[in-house]
Chains A and B, each alone.
Chain A
Amino acid sequence: MHPTATLKLYYVLQIADNALITAQRLSEWCGHGPILEQDIALTNTALDHIGTARSLYHHAADLYNALTSEEQEAAFTSPALTNAFAQKGKLEEDDVAYLRDAWDFRNVLLAEQPNSDWAYTIIRSFFIDTFNYYFYQALQNSNDEALAAVAEKSLKEVTYHLKWSSEWVIRLGDGTDESHARIQKALDERWAYTGELFLSSAADQAMLEAGTGVDLAAIKNQWQYHITSIIQEATLKLPEGTWMQQGGKTGTHTEHLGYILAEMQYLQRAYPGMEW
């Protein structure tokens, strides 16, 4: 069991990694969107998430630097990160983003699932945006000032993201036979990744008790209510499966994350400290 200070670091990383990996996935659409206007909409959203991730990684680096040396040693096992820390004596936001390996990432598995096609991308965003909307609303009450400030700023962006993805679910579901079938298929296949959003990790539990974190059980009902009402309006059927994937929050990822990191981290790994 990790000490509370380490769990707080992990908690911030859970939120930050969700934002960064979601951003990385959405930005894959840049230049490939089905229509120019939606291409720009998606990259705008990706940049919103990157902004959130940056603030949180900055905070995470501060939290790490304030740990005791035993806690620092136990927190991460990514060689590049521990080497950078040994050299500089501290971590910065870019180190946290670019020098951790997959097992030190704490995003939910849903975020790293492939774009596949427009329907799969929309469904993933719809699940995540709905979660973020209620999560950031609650996080505004965190006793951690940095987290509360990030939540307040991100909430405006997230409100737009949610509107955008909810409308797309309705458009596709209540659209043509083809679009209806495709979004229903995406909904069915990605459903098993939604349970982890509300699965309480050791970090979730500790931060809820400390007054820093969000009560996931409480926002689960809100999430389900919004998801269900949009799904109904979209004339879609909510999947009945109850078996859920898990692992991301504790560093056990699907194969996809490794490929995302390979592309995202390549430059900093090959040319450490490179700027452009």
Chain B
Amino acid sequence: MLSLFNKQLYGNYGEKELAGGESNLQNEWPLWEVFIRSKAGLDHKHAGSLHAADAQMAIENARDVYTRRNEGISIWVVESKHIHASDPAEGEELFDPANDKVYRHPTFYDIPDGISHM
């Protein structure tokens, strides 16, 4: 049967997490995703993941693991199980159709001389 609605969670792809983000090892701390803003005005960018017992510890662990070389001024953390992800197995139908649609890029306009930064 064709499964049209296959719910995926990011944690599914972690080495220890089961579907739904529940840890299969009772004593493991949950997995967290870390996002770092490197300077004011820029977006928070995904920096990596780590284990922590709760959000407070996750922020502090992120501080120690990902900002000790002056990489950031702000940290976001989110438990990995709360991130919903596309299924790698559905990659063909999700992404391949965009391969041959070059006309979706705005590259067919003549830009007048004197317009910079385009």
Contact with B along A28-60 (1 / 0, CB 8 A): 000000011110110010000000000000000
Report the minimal beta-carbon distance from A72 to chain B, rounded to whole angstroms: 40
Name the one of A37, A167, A171 contacting B64, with C-beta atoms under 8 angstroms. A37
Query: Given A35-B29, A167-B56 in contact, is the A44-B51 Cβ separation under 8 Å?
Result: no
Report the minimal beta-carbon distance from B15 to chain A, rounded to whole angstroms: 13
Contact with B along A159-172 (1 / 0, CB 8 A): 01001100100010
Report the minimal beta-carbon distance from A67 to chain B, rounded to whole angstroms: 38
Residue B53 at the chain A interface, CB threshold 8 Å: yes
Find out whether the CB atom of A41 lies under 8 angstroms from the CB atom of B61.
yes
Report the minimal beta-carbon distance from B66 to chain A, rounded to whole angstroms: 10
Find out whether the CB atom of A44 lies under 8 angstroms from the CB atom of B56.
no
Find out whether the CB atom of B56 lies under 8 angstroms from the CB atom of A40.
no
B1-34 at interface with A (beta carbon < 8 Å): 29
Report the bound CA distance from A105 to B61 in whole Å.
33
Please, which residue of chain A has its CB at the minimum distance from the CB of B32? Answer: A37
Residues of B within 8 A of A44 (CB): 64, 68
Residue B65 at the chain A interface, CB threshold 8 Å: yes
Chain A interface size, as a band, is: 10 to 19
Report the bound CA distance from A40 to B57 in whole Å.
13
Residue B60 at the chain A interface, CB threshold 8 Å: yes
Residues of A within 8 A of B53 (CB): 171
Residues of A within 8 A of B63 (CB): 160
Report the minimal beta-carbon distance from A48 to chain B, rounded to whole angstroms: 10
Residue B78 at the chain A interface, CB threshold 8 Å: no
Find out whether the CB atom of A41 lies under 8 angstroms from the CB atom of B51.
no
Find out whether the CB atom of B61 lies under 8 angstroms from the CB atom of A38.
yes
Report the bound CA distance from A78 to B57 in whole Å.
44
Find out whether the CB atom of B68 lies under 8 angstroms from the CB atom of A37.
no
Report the bound CA distance from A102 to B63 in whole Å.
36
Contact with A along B39-66 (1 / 0, CB 8 A): 0000000000011110011001101110
Report the minimal beta-carbon distance from A58 to chain B, rounded to whole angstroms: 23
Query: Given A44-B64, A44-B68 in contact, is the A37-B52 Cβ separation under 8 Å?
Result: yes
Report the minimal beta-carbon distance from A126 to chain B, rounded to whole angstroms: 15
Report the bound CA distance from A37 to B52 in whole Å.
8
Residues of B within 8 A of A171 (CB): 53
Query: Given A35-B51, A171-B53 in contact, is the A41-B60 Cβ separation under 8 Å?
Result: yes
Report the minimal beta-carbon distance from B7 to chain A, rounded to whole angstroms: 29
**Cβ contacts A to B, 23 pairs, < 8 Å:** A35-B29, A35-B51, A36-B51, A36-B65, A37-B50, A37-B51, A37-B52, A37-B65, A38-B61, A40-B61, A40-B64, A40-B65, A41-B61, A41-B64, A44-B64, A44-B68, A160-B63, A163-B60, A164-B60, A167-B56, A167-B57, A167-B60, A171-B53
Q: Which residues of B contact A (CB under 8 A)?
A: 29, 50-53, 56-57, 60-61, 63-65, 68
